[in-house]
Amino acid sequence: MTGRSRVRIFDTTLRDGEQAPGFSMTPGEKVRMAEQLERLGADIIEAGFPISSDGDFEAVRAVAATVKAPIVAGLARAVAGDIDRAWAALQGARRPRIHVFLATSDLHLQYKLRIDRATCLARTREAVAHARALTPDVEFSAEDATRSDLAFLCDVAAAAVEAGATTVNLPDTVGYALPADITRMFAAVRARVGSGITLSAHCHNDLGLAVANSIAAVQAGARQVECTINGIGERAGNAALEEFVMALHVRREALPFDTAITTTRLVPTSQALCSIVDIPAAPNKAIVGANAFAHESGIHQDGMLKNELTYEIMRPESVGAAGTRLVLGKHSGMRGLDARCRALGHRLGQVDLERVYRRVTALADRSKTVNDDQLAAIIREEAAGAAASARRRAPSEDTRAACR
C-alpha cells in the first residue's frame, strides 16, 4: 500500500532466545525451528554463535544448508577468529550474513573489555572490514548502545559503515531505555550515517518495554527489528515477534509499516517452540497465550455474544488460534452460561438455567473454572432431579380414580 514502509523481521530465537536458561536446542531442533520460522516469513534467521561451541557451529551450518528464502546470520565478536568461524558455518547458506558485535558503553569498555574508546573504534573498523572481505552482507551491533555516550555511538556507527557494514544494530542490551530514549538515539544515528544504511533495533524486556521500544525505533527510522518467538531470551527476554507484528497489523492507521510475516502462523510457530524446548508460553502471554482469547467475566461474555469487537481487538483466527473461548467461572453470567449450554446441545428454560447457574457458580468457587464435562454432568443431574420431582408431584392412578 502506498505510504507504508517495509520492516524486516530478524528472528533471533535460535541465538539470543536459546541463551535463556532451559531453552537450549540441539542442531536438529534448531533446524526444525528454522523451518517453522521460514514458513512464518522471517526475513533473517540468526541461527547461533558458531564460536561458542562445536554444537552451535554444527547447528548454524545445518540451518544454513536447510532454509532457502531467509538470510541466515551467524554471530561473532569483533575478533578475527570469531568471524572466520562464523563464515565457515555459513558457507552453505544461500544468503549468508556475518553479525559482528562490540560493546560501546563506557561501562562495558572499562569493566568488561578493559579498552578505551579509541581502541573500540579501531576494533570496529578492523572487524567489519574483515567480515566484509568474506561476504557483502555484514551487520554491526553496538552492544549496550542505549547506555553509550550518544556522540561516541554515532562515531562507532559511522566507522562501521565506512568499513562496510550494511546494517547497524543499536541494541537496548539490558532493557534500560524508554521509548523517548530510543527515538533520540535512532534519530541521531540516522542523521550521522545517512539513509542508505539499514538501522536495526534489538530490545530486551527487563522493564517490560521491549515491544514498545521496538515500535519507537521503527517510528524513528529503523527498518529491521530483532525479536524472538514468545519473547524468549536472556533474563526477561527479547521483544516478542508476535506482539510486535500484531501491533503493526492491528494499529495500521497509526503505524504505517508492513512485514512479511504470515500472521495465521504465529500460534503454530509458538506451539512448535514450546514443543521443542518443553516450556509452555504463559497463559496470559499476549497473542499466543492460552487465555489470549478467553473470557470469563459475565460482562465481557455478554459483550462478546453481541459483538466480538467489544472485547477483542483481533480475531483469534488471524493469528492461527482455534477461536474465542467463553470460560465458565465464578465471574460468568447467565448469557455466557446459556451460550455454553446451547453449544453443548442443551436449550434450557429460564428456571432450569437459573438452577444450573447456581450449581456452576458454586462449583467454580471451589475449582476456579467449570469445563464442558462438568457442565454436562450438572445439566444431567438437574434434569434427573427435575424429572424425579415431577413424578413425586404427579397424582397416582388410585388418587385420580377416587377424584373421578
List the chain pLDDT tens, one digit each, 404 residues.
Answer: 458 999 999 999 999 999 999 999 999 999 999 999 999 999 999 999 999 999 999 999 999 999 999 999 999 999 999 999 999 999 999 999 999 999 999 999 999 999 999 999 999 999 999 999 999 999 999 999 999 999 999 999 999 999 999 999 999 999 999 999 999 999 999 999 999 999 999 999 999 999 999 999 999 999 999 999 999 999 999 999 999 999 999 999 999 999 999 999 999 999 999 999 999 999 999 999 999 999 999 999 999 999 999 999 999 999 999 999 999 999 999 999 999 999 999 999 999 999 999 999 999 999 999 999 999 999 999 888 888 877 887 765 555 555 55
The answer to whether 63 touches 45, Cβ cutoff 8 Å, is yes
In the prediction, which pLDDT does 1 show?
A: 43
DSSP letter string, 189-247: HHHHH-TTSEEEEEEB-TTS-HHHHHHHHHHTT--EEEEBGGG--STT-B-BHHHHHHH
In the prediction, which pLDDT does 390 show?
A: 79
d(CA 41, CA 211): 19
Q: Is 120 helix (H, G, I), strand (E, B) or coil?
A: helix
Q: Where are the domains of the chain?
A: 5-277, 294-391
48: β partners: 74
* DSSP conformational letter for 201: E
Give the helix/strand (H/E) hosting 11: strand 8-11
Q: What is the dihedral of CA 347, 350, 354, 357, to 10 degrees?
A: 30
**Architecture of the domain spanning 5-277:** Alpha-Beta Barrel (3.20)
Q: C-alpha grid cell for residue 379?
A: 445439566
d(CA 215, CA 211): 6
* DSSP conformational letter for 145: G
In the prediction, which pLDDT does 191 show?
A: 97
d(CA 76, CA 49): 6
Question: Which residue in 97, 39, 106 sits closest to 72, CA to CA?
Answer: 97
In the prediction, which pLDDT does 36 show?
A: 98
Query: Please, what is the end-to-end C-alpha distance for the chain in angstroms?
Result: 84
* DSSP conformational letter for 279: -
* 27, 54, 130, 395 from 138: Cα distances, Å: 24, 23, 10, 91
d(CA 139, CA 166): 6
The answer to whether 268 touches 56, Cβ cutoff 8 Å, is no
d(CA 287, CA 377): 33
Residues contacting residue 261 through CB under 8 Å, at least 6 positions apart: 9, 40, 41, 42, 241, 245
Instruction: Give the length of the chain.
Output: 404
d(CA 230, CA 273): 8
Residues contacting residue 152 through CB under 8 Å, at least 6 positions apart: 104, 117
In the prediction, which pLDDT does 3 show?
A: 83
Give the helix/strand (H/E) hosting 46: strand 44-48
The pTM of the whole model exceeds 0.85 = yes
Using only C-alpha atoms, the chain has a radius of gyration, in whole angstroms, of: 28
